[in-house]
Amino acid sequence: MANILYTNVRILDGSGEHPYLGEMLVQGNRIRKVARGTRSIPMNGNTVIDGAGATLMPGLCDAHTHLSWNNAPSLEALINLPPEEHTLFAADVAKIYLDHGFTMCVGAAAAKPRLDVVIRNAINKGQIPGPRYLANCPEITTIGGLGHAHPPHVVHEGLNFGLVVNGPEEVRRTVRTMIGYGVDLIKLNLSGEELTNVGAEESPMSEEECVMAVREAKRRGRRLCAHARSAESVKMCIRHGIEIIYHASFADEEALDLLEANKDKHFVAPGLAWLIRISNHAGEWGITPEKARAMGYHRELEIAIETAKKMKRRGIRVLPGGDYGFAWTPHGTYAKDFEYFVDLLGFTPMEVLVAATKHGGEIMGSPGELGLVKEGYLADIILVDGDPLSNIKILQDKKRILSVMKDGEFFRAPEGNRQSLRVAV
């Protein structure tokens, strides 16, 4: 593997510090040296890339990823896709993420029990391109909870979106089975979702079931995440040490106080894109804004925005990741989350990029190796045509992602010479 020297680049290192003109040397799969100015690192023996002032920064993280969500307008369409086609689809999505500069993804649930594991393993073996990925199981839910779609006239469980459990012992068996399949994460549906006729402010899973899931996962060294829109479900996450909290729309002051007191133990990914898009942009698929309002999504969106603002002010780690993979949140639009964080939550572009890089490395479980342009860190790097601090929207344009490097190797190398890398005005 050749040594790669980036020179004449504007280094945005992910720490929150102001960018600077500099150079970076990659040896093997790690960043060997970072220097300010140009001609600071010898060129001899290195493959030199002159960035012509382009922005060099860490690869991005999506904290709420569904590789197997198939851009469908319904859960039924997601469930009914056969496993063979579904595996191929998920493999394509893994490539899409990487192609858009996302080198880290946290699986937030798989559509079928081994889908995430198979894709993660194929990525790690080099069989398919994709980001570093934490594989999840299907969502574990209760009878009558989010993901239990089994109608009484159907004699099989094939229509269920989640793994349906009833009581602590069934939870134990299910968690053990998923760990046996090789997942990194266990996902619990602690609250409902209006689209499924289980209220977002409901908390169907019992304390005993939740405790069992956490106990079984942690004794085997697995981490947990939860669909937790209701205030009570957020509190359950904090009480029982569920590290990754999805949504948290209705977190009340008590829940926010608990989160703030434990802010070094938890991450929150509010999934705003889902709420924004289903509220206002799903009419083509039968969910008009009026229908979405009647379902409660407009109300939840307003509350979720205010809740996320409060979490930011309290220093709670709030990360982008918008539940992409439905018809109204299609794959490839992941960087819209950055725009939403800036426009709706009051993040500065720097703050949202720190959340998507430095905090991304933290949620991936590798804070000393991922998420920063720093000596000794893994070389997961993107080169961007332009300044995302001046215009966060440029990260939505794949053409502005000039190159993507993961683990010291180019998924997509810069094209052409210095002229082709000049920053667009």
Give the count of domains, the chain: 2
The last residue of a domain, from among 313, 334, 355: 334
- CB contact burial 353-370 (16+ within 10 A = b; e otherwise): bbbbbbbbbbbbeeeeeb
Q: Could you tell me the residue range of the domain that residue 121 belongs to?
A: 60-334
Q: Bridge partners of 378? A: 30
Quick: pLDDT tens for 287-311.
Answer: 999 999 999 999 999 999 999 999 9
Question: Is the pLDDT score of 145 beyond 70?
Answer: no
Quick: pLDDT tens for 189-205.
Answer: 999 998 888 899 999 99
Report d(CA 165, CA 212) in Å as an integer: 12
Supply the pLDDT for residue 60.
98
Instruction: Please provide the average confidence, as pLDDT, over all residues in the chain.
Output: 93
The last residue of a domain, from among 309, 334, 359: 334
Both 81 and 161 in a single domain?
A: yes
353 in a structural domain = no
Question: What's the one-letter identity of residue 66?
Answer: H
Confidence of residue 424 (pLDDT cuts 50, 70, 90): very low
Both 300 and 226 in a single domain?
A: yes
CATH number for the domain spanning 51: value is 2.30.40.10
Closest CA to 402 of 391, 418, 390, 389: 418
Confidence of residue 101 (pLDDT cuts 50, 70, 90): very high
413 in a structural domain = yes
